Amino acid sequence: MDQWNGQQRAFAIKMFEVVQRKFRRFFNLGHHHQVHSTHAINTWTKNFEETGSALKKKRTGHPRSARTPQNIEAVCVTVLRSPRRSVRKLAAAVRLSREYVRRILHVDLKFHLYKVQIVQELKEKDHQFRLEFCQQITTNIMEGNEFLDRLWMSDEAHFHLTGYVNKQNYRYWADSNPKEVHEHPLHSSKVTVWCAVSSHGVIRPYFLENEDRITITVTSDR
């Protein structure tokens, strides 16, 4: 048998509507503003019965944030010991989520992600050769004022003509994998450009090619 009859349910609905209207009128809320629901009222009632206050109960137990001093110290020690580790491996080492590790690195430790720089490799004798070259240039400049006027500095650069596709920035949507590929030659075609500069001016860039328009290297004769 139903515990509440139709008259009792209708009375509850009418009283709920009355409370909502009075709530809007008292706090000067328009019809577009959201007001309390039945679930909210039940929650307030339960809180009042348990704590004597209708306010939201304070959370108990450990804080939800994992950015504690102990975890920050653990991440700091781990990343200083192995600075080349990825965030995924760092998170596994300290047993934290990747998001918390990123926040600790950026917000708490003020760390930034730096990329390795690619420079020309120097052999053991290169350092001595460079030192001797600098000393010789300095001597030539000190001995004669015309040295700098007779000094030409030149260099060449290679420009690859084959387009480059970055897979990380290229995506496509399809209902099945079309297995799209991008073919590129093993040795891409390129053009060599040479230029020189001195106190007299600039020798314009030269594109070095043979009779068949094939790129050739730079030599003293050419």
Map out the domains of the chain as residue ranges.
6-51, 69-108, 119-150, 152-222
Structure confidence at residue 126 as a pLDDT band (50, 70, 90): very high
Above 60 in pLDDT, residue 107?
Answer: yes
Provide the 8-state DSSP code for 150: G
Work out the average pLDDT over 16-45: 73
- Residue 1: the pLDDT is 46
- What CA–CA distance (Å, rounded) separates 141 from 147? 6
Above 90 in pLDDT, residue 191?
Answer: no
Above 90 in pLDDT, residue 2?
Answer: no
Rounded to whole angstroms, the maximal C-alpha distance in the chain is 117
Provide the 8-state DSSP code for 62: S
Q: Where does 95-195 have alpha helices with state H?
A: 98-103, 126-143
The model scores a pTM over 0.75: no
Work out the average pLDDT over 91-120: 88
> Are the CB atoms for 78 and 93 separated by under 8 Å?
yes
Higher pLDDT, 79 or 160: 79
Sheet holding 201-208, edge to edge: 153-160, 190-198, 201-208
Query: Residue 6 to residues 3, 9, 12, 42: CA-CA distances in angstroms?
Result: 10, 5, 10, 21
| Interacting residues of 112 by C-beta distance below 8 A, sequence separation 6+ | 106
- Residue 188: the pLDDT is 73
Work out the average pLDDT over 141-160: 85
Work out the average pLDDT over 148-166: 81
Rounded to the nearest integer, the mean pLDDT of the chain is 80
Percentage of the residues of the chain whose pLDDT score is greater than 90? 16
pLDDT in tens, 47-67: 766 776 767 766 665 555 678
- Residue 148: the pLDDT is 86
Helix and strand element counts for the chain (H, E): 6, 3
Structure confidence at residue 169 as a pLDDT band (50, 70, 90): low
Measuring CA to CA, which residue among 114, 111, 108, 106 is closest to residue 73?
108
- Residue 31: the pLDDT is 67
